[in-house]
Chain A
């Protein structure tokens, strides 16, 4: 077994591996969060997944401004200003010396380069849980297809191990890649955020045509392999018309399942921790209850609608 994995030394940039995930596909799953995304949705709750590199997160409310990080940074990239460290993030080489010294655990790096075999070793630890619960592995991100070789490597190994595989994708992917990966993927959790080409482009940078081409290809091959996922965002697609359009798109492609994911702001803190500004205008989090009427609409149209993953 071990030898088989040794062969796959493809390195991947990974944000996190979450075990016992119950919201991204059926059963008990492990989700591998890839880094790198072709989109830049303004409400993105995982800003540290957008670029493939280690990101320094500074959790200000834990920080006591002791200045130890300033002293130890071998690059001289940290300076204390107004009692708090200021990081020269562009010049940071992610040596993690500051993370290790911080007595408050106020500095944390996210984003690691790991081999496919290292990932597989973790994935296989919960094998029995997947098999007994009808679960498996979900590749998410970021956009898993952005690291195509690594993704293929993992998919092949998962299939060798007879594990159920799901990929959560934004759909902004080269069709050839989808075609190659298709036989190895049991379930596509396929994001459809809007049906208006221009609005979609503006808020996410996505090309609707590419996305629809891919959706059509997958559903024409096997419509049961697709679940449409809609992040429901106030001020963007949180209205009857848009959601109805998306439901129609599902029906057109004979897709049964649609998940509505209520907008949340839990990722907001991360922007501050990354030294960024949250780009999406202030909006309240949505409750599940606020999506009930859309669920009804979809169900009347013959779809199976679930609120939450």
Chain B
């Protein structure tokens, strides 16, 4: 077993969380009670244990309804509790030790012992810690996010998008009678028993929130009183009945999502559209009121601050109510343009039939600096998902991107990325006889490596690197699969399972055999630095024979100090992103090797799919900071390339050339790949027709995605100097948006390095 720090940072957290509204001592009491129940239920079935623990948390952890909320539901998270993901609370029955220690510091010293007792109990019971103990190794597989390792693993259930259409069609009452019917046939089925109790929790929470709304009415003005009355009434109605208004539909989906602990929300336009249109047509709602409702939802999503999630998807193939959905889409587009939040990650799916109106609205929002919508091309992605996930067209049409870009099938699959691999770090390790130049530790496992002098051809060299990759890819699929096994051993994710096919039909929680498509994803990093490096080796060492591998490697170990001419040759070699066959073919070859390797292993182990995602958050920078100098001329500890884009500054041939390079990868081998492009406002806004045809051509050529930032470089540079003047300057980091001044200096530098297309 490896040594790991249980207090290590578990996830990306850039957006600042809103602190819990309960007094510290109450928070401590809740955590103690949770722990006591967890302990007391140790011998009970995991489903029952889970629901008993949930009862400790809910409705207690609901916050007060705030004055601008038009529907109810905000929750707090404590360092101990239950959840699905690391960005809100933790995974399964969790303890976030670092946060628990920080919590302890705030208490009076006389209470510290109480926290110590909790800490000790959870060392043996925190789900993620148990996974870490079983899976992590001394030298190859590290903990999320420990950048010393070439590969890191976690256990989490991120990216779940629930079957909200089913929830709205049936209502809580409908779900309840389904479960009761089935329980009659299988009276011992704990999943059904616990599921019914979950619905009771839902009803309790609705009542709890009603109570809050009633109490607030006393001091509210007339307008607000009416709103609170509506909130109260809707909460009452959705306890049992199907929703009959837009408000009720929104309230039902939202409350369920909160209790499930999911942080991505699926195709809102399609499932809320019909309620919206019915309200507008009957005169129950004006368009302006609808705007306020959607804006209110946006704010509530923003306030959850998950940093890289909060997906709302609109548009695209396979919508059941496209006409009504478009009404929602148009209003949502305005909200996204005006409110400039980091979240929700507003996502537009489109195909060749998408109307010009929608295109123009999307470009307007982007041109205004909203960074949304982020654009997904269904004409490419639907067939790609069919192949990648091995599903039929109808199913593939329900793909939805979550988090940084990973795809799942709404309501039908898991796709959590529990593995990240740094391809570039592995190349530097491979060239250095298995030793990581960063810290002098061996990280090549049992893979035999040759001396650099022994490679006679590029293919021999490349094959040796692939052998090391193979070893790691084997580890990756085992760790991903095992993360599901460990989670399933302890928890059922009951709320999530209730709205995931085919859990109810099979009577099983999702990881217990309930989910229709057990998928997963593997985030790959440093892809382009690696392929550019391989091209340098092929070109300078084996084609031109200008340097030997040893000379190149000596220069890398010296961080090119004293090897400036050699580094210049490395930098001058063809680079991906310039529409050159040389570097682009190398990039595609490496991509296909890794992507197919991962996919094949997933199928072999019995998963529906296991696909790479070329997403990005700030990990390309942080991991780059712990990756040695590389043959592409990148210096030691420098950021790595973002997502599927060139290293900052390497693409020098304009946007068409870059987009041509991007479009060369066959999308069917990955489960999401982020493509960034950055324009100055004048270029983007004064040449709108040209920009539109630029994008459309790229998509027609096979581009799967585009994430657009419109910003002045001068503004970013000024924001580095005077952060106080730019509290809400939003930029796309790659897989997500962030407030620029919240990012660390090295990430800001990485963003500044990316090529900006100006006029």
Q: Tell me whether A20 and B697 are in contact (CB under 8 A).
A: no
Contact flags B624-653 to A (C-beta < 8 A → 1, else 0) = 000000000000000000000000000001
> Which stretch in B63-71, B363-371, B444-452, B686-694 binds the other chain?
B686-694
Contact flags B696-710 to A (C-beta < 8 A → 1, else 0) = 110011000000000
B655 near A: Cβ within 8 Å?
yes
B18 near A: Cβ within 8 Å?
no
Chain A residues 197-249 with CB under 8 Å of chain B are none
Q: Tell me whether B701 and A133 are in contact (CB under 8 A).
A: no
B4 near A: Cβ within 8 Å?
no
A28 near B: Cβ within 8 Å?
yes
Q: Tell me whether A19 and B693 are in contact (CB under 8 A).
A: no
Contact flags A110-151 to B (C-beta < 8 A → 1, else 0) = 000000000000000110110011110000000000000000
B759 near A: Cβ within 8 Å?
yes
B660 near A: Cβ within 8 Å?
yes
A contact patch SS: mixed
B540 near A: Cβ within 8 Å?
no
Chain A residues 63-103 with CB under 8 Å of chain B are 100-103
* Residues in chain A near residue B513, CB distance under 8 A: none
Contact flags B546-567 to A (C-beta < 8 A → 1, else 0) = 0000000000000000001100
* Residues in chain B near residue A23, CB distance under 8 A: 759
B contact patch SS: helix
* Residues in chain B near residue A275, CB distance under 8 A: none
Q: Tell me whether A28 and B657 are in contact (CB under 8 A).
A: no
* Residues in chain A near residue B303, CB distance under 8 A: none
Q: Which of B568, B660, B690, B757 contacts A28 (CB 8 A)?
A: B690
* Residues in chain A near residue B697, CB distance under 8 A: 28, 128-129, 132-133
Given A125-B579, A132-B697, A103 and B564 contact (CB-CB distance below 8 Å):
yes
Given A23-B759, A101-B565, A103-B564, A126 and B656 contact (CB-CB distance below 8 Å):
yes
* Residues in chain B near residue A20, CB distance under 8 A: 654-657, 694, 757
State the Cβ distance, B266 to closest chain A Cβ, in Å.
Answer: 32
* Residues in chain A near residue B654, CB distance under 8 A: 18-20
State the Cβ distance, A133 to closest chain B Cβ, in Å.
Answer: 4
State the Cβ distance, A292 to closest chain B Cβ, in Å.
Answer: 16
Q: Which of A18, A103, A132 contacts B693 (CB 8 A)?
A: A132
Q: Which of A22, A132, A133 contacts B759 (CB 8 A)?
A: A22
A27 near B: Cβ within 8 Å?
yes
Q: Tell me whether B696 and A19 are in contact (CB under 8 A).
A: no
Cα separation A28 to B654 with both chains bound (whole Å):
11
Chain B residues 522-575 with CB under 8 Å of chain A are 564-565, 568-569
Cα separation A103 to B561 with both chains bound (whole Å):
11
Given A19-B656, A20-B654, A133 and B693 contact (CB-CB distance below 8 Å):
yes
Closest to B572 in A: A100
Q: Tell me whether B657 and A128 are in contact (CB under 8 A).
A: no
Contact flags B570-590 to A (C-beta < 8 A → 1, else 0) = 000000000100000000000
* Residues in chain B near residue A133, CB distance under 8 A: 689-690, 693-694, 697
State the Cβ distance, A295 to closest chain B Cβ, in Å.
Answer: 16
Q: Tell me whether A125 and B690 are in contact (CB under 8 A).
A: no
Given A18-B654, A27-B693, A103-B568, A128 and B759 contact (CB-CB distance below 8 Å):
no
Chain A residues 1-24 with CB under 8 Å of chain B are 18-20, 22-23
Chain B residues 653-669 with CB under 8 Å of chain A are 653-657, 660
Closest to A133 in B: B693
Given A103-B568, A125-B660, A128-B700, A28 and B693 contact (CB-CB distance below 8 Å):
yes
* Residues in chain A near residue B700, CB distance under 8 A: 128, 132
State the Cβ distance, A245 to closest chain B Cβ, in Å.
Answer: 29
Cα separation A133 to B693 with both chains bound (whole Å):
5
Most chain B beta-carbon neighbours within 10 Å: one of A22, A105, A134: A22
* Residues in chain B near residue A128, CB distance under 8 A: 697, 700-701
Closest to B696 in A: A132
Closest to B567 in A: A103
* Residues in chain A near residue B656, CB distance under 8 A: 19-20, 28, 125-126, 129
State the Cβ distance, A58 to closest chain B Cβ, in Å.
Answer: 17
What's the tally of chain A residues with a CB closer than 8 Å to chain B? 20
Most chain A beta-carbon neighbours within 10 Å: one of B656, B689, B696, B757: B656
Closest to A128 in B: B697
* Residues in chain B near residue A102, CB distance under 8 A: 568
Cα separation A125 to B658 with both chains bound (whole Å):
11
* Residues in chain A near residue B565, CB distance under 8 A: 100-101, 103
* Residues in chain B near residue A135, CB distance under 8 A: 690
* Residues in chain A near residue B701, CB distance under 8 A: 128
Closest to B683 in A: A22
Q: Tell me whether A19 and B653 are in contact (CB under 8 A).
A: yes
Closest to A131 in B: B697
Q: Tell me whether A125 and B657 are in contact (CB under 8 A).
A: yes
* Residues in chain A near residue B564, CB distance under 8 A: 103
Cα separation A135 to B656 with both chains bound (whole Å):
13
* Residues in chain A near residue B660, CB distance under 8 A: 125-126
Q: Tell me whether B657 and A19 are in contact (CB under 8 A).
A: yes
Cα separation A102 to B571 with both chains bound (whole Å):
13
Cα separation A134 to B687 with both chains bound (whole Å):
13
State the Cβ distance, B656 to closest chain A Cβ, in Å.
Answer: 5
State the Cβ distance, B121 to closest chain A Cβ, in Å.
Answer: 59
Closest to B701 in A: A128
* Residues in chain A near residue B696, CB distance under 8 A: 132
Cα separation A37 to B656 with both chains bound (whole Å):
29
Cα separation A101 to B568 with both chains bound (whole Å):
8
Q: Which of B653, B693, B757 contacts A129 (CB 8 A)?
A: B693
* Residues in chain A near residue B653, CB distance under 8 A: 19
Cα separation A80 to B656 with both chains bound (whole Å):
41
Q: Tell me whether B568 and A100 are in contact (CB under 8 A).
A: yes
State the Cβ distance, A149 to closest chain B Cβ, in Å.
Answer: 27
* Residues in chain B near residue A103, CB distance under 8 A: 564-565, 568
Q: Tell me whether A129 and B694 are in contact (CB under 8 A).
A: yes
Cα separation A101 to B569 with both chains bound (whole Å):
9
Cα separation A245 to B687 with both chains bound (whole Å):
30
Closest to B655 in A: A20
Q: Tell me whether B690 and A27 are in contact (CB under 8 A).
A: yes
Cα separation A128 to B568 with both chains bound (whole Å):
34
Cα separation A22 to B691 with both chains bound (whole Å):
10
State the Cβ distance, A137 to closest chain B Cβ, in Å.
Answer: 13
* Residues in chain A near residue B759, CB distance under 8 A: 22-23
Chain B residues 673-697 with CB under 8 Å of chain A are 683, 687, 689-690, 693-694, 696-697
Cα separation A102 to B657 with both chains bound (whole Å):
27
Closest to A68 in B: B565
* Residues in chain B near residue A132, CB distance under 8 A: 693, 696-697, 700
Cα separation A126 to B569 with both chains bound (whole Å):
28
* Residues in chain B near residue A28, CB distance under 8 A: 656, 690, 693-694, 697
Chain B residues 278-321 with CB under 8 Å of chain A are none
Cα separation A105 to B565 with both chains bound (whole Å):
11
* Residues in chain A near residue B689, CB distance under 8 A: 133
Cα separation A151 to B660 with both chains bound (whole Å):
27
State the Cβ distance, B466 to closest chain A Cβ, in Å.
Answer: 30
Closest to A28 in B: B690
* Residues in chain B near residue A125, CB distance under 8 A: 579, 656-657, 660
Cα separation A23 to B682 with both chains bound (whole Å):
13
State the Cβ distance, A109 to closest chain B Cβ, in Å.
Answer: 13
Cα separation A103 to B633 with both chains bound (whole Å):
13
State the Cβ distance, B199 to closest chain A Cβ, in Å.
Answer: 52
Closest to B569 in A: A100
Give 15 CB contacts A-B under 8 Å.
A19-B654, A22-B687, A100-B568, A101-B568, A103-B565, A103-B568, A105-B568, A125-B660, A126-B660, A128-B697, A129-B656, A129-B693, A132-B693, A133-B689, A133-B690
Given contacts A126-B656, A134-B693, 15 further A-B contacts (CB under 8 A): A19-B653, A19-B657, A20-B657, A28-B656, A100-B569, A102-B568, A103-B564, A105-B568, A125-B579, A125-B656, A128-B697, A128-B700, A132-B693, A132-B697, A133-B697
User: Which residues of A are at the interface with B, using a C-beta cutoff of 8 A?
Assistant: 18-20, 22-23, 27-28, 100-103, 105, 125-126, 128-129, 132-135
Pairs A-B, 3 closest by C-beta atoms: A133-B693, A103-B564, A20-B654
